[in-house]
């Protein structure tokens, strides 16, 4: 059964400082309009799909490898939609450090190259929860 894809992007450029950030437990994503100083620290990507905001429990896939989302900063979805920008922290925290952060489970970060596909998929049962009037994503 396919889950609803909330967002999908394809990596077009890997900044020279991305490996150092990954060693520190984070990835910075930015759309193709990233200025050079931000492109140097970012996985620059082209957004292919935007079907709505991500939420706790959704699954971030980095070139197929799944990571459960544990926290979403209150500005993260707006920044991702408008700029293609978000900071992903691989720390498993349930409270983001910054408003633009998305936290995922603490696991090793895969090495990514141009062409890698990044997706955020709805959590299992998320649509059923919303339909039943439960606490799903906010519009």
Question: For the segment 76-131, what is each residue's pLDDT rounded down to a tens digit?
Answer: 999 999 999 999 999 999 999 999 999 999 999 999 999 999 999 999 876 544 43
Q: Return phi, psi of residue 118, to 5°.
A: -115, 130
Question: For the segment 25-60, what is each residue's pLDDT rounded down to a tens digit?
Answer: 999 999 999 999 999 999 999 999 999 999 999 999
**Cα(22)–Cα(110) distance, rounded to whole angstroms?**
9
| Beta-carbon count within 10 A of 13 CB | 18
pLDDT given at position 90: 98
pLDDT given at position 125: 75
Q: Which domains are delineated in the chain?
A: 5-131 (2.40.33.40)
pLDDT at 133 over 90: no
pTM here is 0.87
Q: Return phi, psi of residue 103, to 5°.
A: -100, 140
Q: Is 79 known to be catalytic?
A: no
**Cα(28)–Cα(124) distance, rounded to whole angstroms?**
26
Q: Which of 68, 98, 94, 66 is nearest to 85 (CA)?
A: 98
């Amino acid at each position: 059964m396919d889950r609803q894809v909330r967002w999908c992007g394809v990596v077009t450029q890997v900044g020279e400082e991305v490996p150092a950030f990954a060693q520190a437990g984070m990835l910075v994503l930015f759309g193709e309009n990233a200025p050079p100083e931000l492109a140097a620290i970012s996985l620059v990507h082209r957004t292919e799909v935007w079907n709505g905001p991500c939420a706790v429990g959704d699954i971030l896939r980095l070139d197929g490898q799944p990571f459960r989302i544990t926290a979403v900063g209150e500005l993260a979805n707006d920044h991702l939609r408008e700029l293609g920008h978000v900071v992903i922290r691989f720390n498993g925290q349930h409270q983001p450090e910054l408003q633009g952060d998305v936290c995922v489970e603490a696991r090793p970060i895969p090495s990514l190259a141009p062409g890698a596909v990044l997706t955020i998929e709805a959590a299992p049962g998320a649509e059923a929860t919303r339909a039943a009037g439960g606490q799903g994503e906010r519009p």
